[in-house]
A and B are shown apart, each in its own frame.
Chain A
């Protein structure tokens, strides 16, 4: 083997997240160094004090929630009841707002933990900048402002489900009217560059999978057919860009933040295809498990997925994967995880752990903190005395306007 070539290849081998890792490390190191430097009235004494300061810092790291999280990460699994959790959602760990679909309707949760119910709707989704919410009733699609005031609505024979708002211009909303895929202007009336119709049928007989808009101004929509084939269509010209061909019906579709990759999650694995529909990578679910949810990171080509094992004692895992490098389990627990979302800055993941009635916020990199919140169902169904349905995470969007 050519050893010079080997050396060059080792130097060029991709190291994920390299620059951000360096920034994080420098912040930690400079803080530790400053701690050492603050104790310098006498050099010999300062050495002892610096030692003590760093030792205390490291001890604090080990016993603080952040340190606990690091240990959990190393252990790879956290069990119900063993992770100390907060009894109420008092804040979000990262800027932004979380949209939640509960049995009593959608709620917007602000960064300080305050929340507002928008009304009696079934499903909801944020507009690209979080200024509006598209919501559905059985036979209506509506646009609401963050106070819950209806800006426009359109009635359909229905049922109306799976709304999806395009980004970044917000000029299109796709939704399912029974099994028909329709697209409407984001202002409820106006379709820029379309055929002048306020609301148009794109395809009939599609699968019940939330369609996914490719980020960008060209209004490309990915959706699935009942035979499992996934199509990408330039909506304004109704031009089909690709069709993956029949396969298992997807459980979720998502585009990478730069729009260069479509992630297709099926029960048996996740496939990454490029903008022309050419497969780039496949991540297979292990035997005896199935994938139930997917979220794309707002940064890079990373994505998170929920994998669930069957049998008498089912377990679920939250897995972080990317186009390069290996998949990494972030969290494993008994029962079912029902949803996930990345924070707007991509640093945190919110995991809905239905079986534990908890939300778990995880920071996959950096300080690798973990924050669990209990009693989620009752917090989104105030006044209910009986068992309530666990709420669905509908999005984690931009900071409050």
Chain B
């Protein structure tokens, strides 16, 4: 489970090559990490444009700091920490804006004769009913494969808080999925 298991052990040499100016190495890093970074951002913010911005800005930050990057450390967790924290910040800001919004957004309704949706679609709908902070811990734990301790360090939270957030989020997801069929 998780991205870290899928990337080969030569990441340090790829990072070193990128630090030395190899665009091929940068492209390799991008190809390895973009899909999950973008997916993680989207699953937290649930906004296509914002997810793209967030993932892109995280990579720009990575390039900016590439020269100082400690090659003994894995690249992914550092990138994911930026992505998920930015995604949470964006979601909080959006919630505040919605409270003062002059015009609500159109509401999505199921069609009158919907076909049974695949589990991933049902899950997506269930995730939408969670707070962004809860979506973030779900994504970090179950998409990216981090342990609760690692998530706690990434989000700057006590480990107990992460555990309870995970438990509550999973319970809520289970309820929602049960209701939707």
Contact = CB atoms under 8 A, between A and B. Distances in A.
Contacts of A5: 119
A106 B91 CA distance: 45
A114 interface: no
Nearest to A317: B103
B70 interface: no
Given A50-B67, A307-B103, A22 B35 contact: yes
Contacts of B27: 26, 30
Interface string A293-331: 000000000000101010000010101010011111100
A12 B173 contact: no
A156 interface: no
A1 B166 CA distance: 12
Contact of B51 (A15, A305, A324): A15
Interface stretch (B7-15, B58-66, B72-80, B153-161): B58-66
- The DSSP consensus for interface residues of chain B is helix
Contacts of B1: 4, 7
A246 to B, nearest CB: 14
B97 A33 contact: no
B124 A13 contact: yes
B42 to A, nearest CB: 5
A272 to B, nearest CB: 7
Contact of B52 (A3, A7, A285, A365): A365
Contact of B105 (A17, A74, A75, A327): A327
B49 to A, nearest CB: 6
B109 A73 contact: no
With most chain B CB atoms within 10 A of its CB, the pick from A18, A47, A283 is A18
A2 to B, nearest CB: 9
Contacts of A36: 63, 66
B37 to A, nearest CB: 9
B66 to A, nearest CB: 8
A269 B97 CA distance: 24
Interface string B91-105: 001000100011111
A326 B119 CA distance: 18
Given A1-B173, A54-B64, A328 B111 contact: no
A178 interface: no
Contacts of B86: none
B136 interface: no
A10 B43 CA distance: 8
A216 interface: no
Contact of B139 (A10, A24, A328): A10
A217 interface: no
A332 interface: yes
A36 B38 CA distance: 24
Contacts of A269: 106, 109
12 contacts: A6-B142, A7-B142, A14-B120, A25-B34, A29-B59, A50-B64, A279-B111, A281-B109, A282-B112, A307-B103, A328-B49, A329-B105
Interface of A: 1, 3-7, 9-18, 21-22, 24-26, 28-30, 32-34, 36-37, 40, 47, 50-51, 54, 58, 70, 73-77, 269-272, 278-287, 289, 305, 307, 309, 315, 317, 319, 321, 324-329, 332, 364-365, 368
Interface of B: 1, 21, 23, 26-27, 30, 34-35, 38-39, 42-43, 46-49, 51-53, 55-56, 59-60, 63-64, 66-68, 93, 97, 101-114, 119-121, 123-124, 128, 138-139, 142-143, 145, 170-171, 173-174, 177
Given A13-B39, A18-B35, A278-B111, 16 more contacts: A6-B173, A10-B39, A12-B120, A14-B121, A15-B43, A17-B48, A21-B51, A22-B34, A33-B23, A54-B60, A272-B111, A285-B106, A286-B107, A305-B106, A319-B105, A327-B108
